[in-house]
Structure 1
Amino acid sequence: MFKCTEPLLYIGGNTPSEFATTAEFEKAIQIPQKNISLGQCSAVITNVKEFLQRVKVAAGKQNIALRAQLVSYYDPTTFHGHFAEEDTPFSKQIRFAHQREYRLVANRQNSDASPYTLNVGSLRDIAHMISIEMLNASVKISSPANSPQA
């Protein structure tokens, strides 16, 4: 069963954000410099609904249960509880909050922990590779031509 409970646009953090300027908003949607240690390139999905649909169909064909949601970040100095087993993949210490993750977790219904590839087919029509540096430099927010200026 595919479960997608979160919005398809995600800026980060556990609470809604407000921005005083468009420059502040642009900075918030850029990939944080700390994430560059994870790789120099990014895959930009231009049609998230279609991407999730393809993943859902591919998983269904292989009888794989999927769950998708934002990762929640907790402070280990104040959190002293436990997570339900099904929520564990979606919980990380706050020191990783800059990663701003939305995760897809596949349950293959067995104990095989070996690497696995879910073939969703070509994504060339809805995904593009770009360097993080170029992606961040290209983030620009502008008002629609016919809307009143705030």
Structure 2
Amino acid sequence: MKKIIYCLVKIFKDCDNEYADNLLNSGELYCQALKNFKVIEDGEVRGDKYEGLIHWIQPRDCVISLELPENIVDIPREITITEADLTAPAAIQTTEYEYHKIYCMYAIAIDEFSFKYSTEEERISLQKEINDLISKQIEFDEKISSELGNIAIVITNVKKFIDRVKQHCGNDVHHGLVGYFNDEAVSVQFQGIESIFRKRKLYSYQNEYRFAFSSRDQLNSKIFHIGDLKDIAYKTTVSELKELISISVK
């Protein structure tokens, strides 16, 4: 289902207040190479060892055949690994995008609802049902404040923000909502750049909107500046934003 993005939020820890001000006042985007996220050890908050995933295969869907060299003796030349031999899904990752520079934000977004009704009673019932769904979709998980931080720079005009990113950083950038999959139940395959916009469901509370800047250098990070953002953004806290945000259909 298509999503409607109402605003983007960059979240900072209290100790990073200076960086929050830099984003608001000069549009400073501090980006890290994709490969950096694979080695961050923070209990799977920002770090994700499975970045760049192209195959996630459940044991029931996996058969691996190996043919060993002739000079290896005392074991069979051919070995087949099946579900009975596996204790977890098999993961295959691409290194093609290792040095793409990544900028992550939180998206306040809802599904694009479409509904029909014949009577006023049906309209009222559907309105309540949809508003209940919207409330759940825009609700902040408690882990946002505790794990990511409580300082928030809120981008109120997403289109203008994206336009400025492209204007100052070049058009060779991919961006969009990250999709999340049920890694405990399904086998999946991702193609090309899609591989860096898909993550396991344990990250879904982060509602990530990601910018991926194409890069041929091997730098671990890069800083872009897109200019003063105070005309399309403001500074607050996640705690205050939870109280302020309200979306409903009438």
TM-score between the two structures when normalised by the length of structure 2: 0.47
The structural deviation recorded for 1:141 is 4.5
The structural deviation recorded for 1:16 is 5.5
Partner residue in 1 for 2:10: none
Which of structures 1 and 2 has the bigger CA Rg?
2
Runs of 4+ in 1 over 6 A off after TM superposition: none
The structural deviation recorded for 1:97 is 0.9
Partner residue in 2 for 1:106: 213
Map of 1:1-150 to 2, 5 A cutoff?
Answer: 7-9=4-6, 10-11=108-109, 20=129, 22=131, 25-36=134-145, 37-60=147-170, 65-108=172-215, 110-141=216-247
SS of residue in 1 equivalent to 2:185: coil
The structural deviation recorded for 1:28 is 3.0
AA in 2 matched with 1:128: Y
Q: Percent identity?
A: 25
Q: 1:141, 1:77 → 2: CA distance?
A: 32
- Structure-2 change in CA distance of 1:141 and 1:76 (3 Å): closer
AA in 2 matched with 1:114: N
Q: 2:143, 2:165 → 1: CA distance?
A: 28
8 Å CA contact retained: 1:26, 1:139:
no
Q: 1:23, 1:75 → 2: CA distance?
A: 24
What whole-Å deviation, never above 9, does each CA across 1:42-94 have from its counterpart, x for those lacking one? 2111111110110010122xxx6101111110111233343223112100001
Comparing 91-100 with 133-142, greater Cα deviation is found at 133-142
8 Å CA contact retained: 1:32, 1:98:
yes
Q: Which has the higher strand share?
A: 2
Q: Mind listing any 5+ residue stretches in structure 1 that lack a counterpart? A: 144-149
Q: 2:208, 2:231 → 1: CA distance?
A: 23
Q: 1:24, 1:83 → 2: CA distance?
A: 29
SS of residue in 2 equivalent to 1:122: coil
The structural deviation recorded for 1:113 is 3.5
TM-score between the two structures when normalised by the length of structure 1: 0.74
Superposition RMSD in Å: 2.8
- Structure-2 change in CA distance of 1:82 and 1:59 (3 Å): same
8 Å CA contact retained: 1:30, 1:135:
no
- Structure-2 change in CA distance of 1:6 and 1:134 (3 Å): closer
Q: 1:115, 1:25 → 2: CA distance?
A: 36
Q: 2:152, 2:139 → 1: CA distance?
A: 11
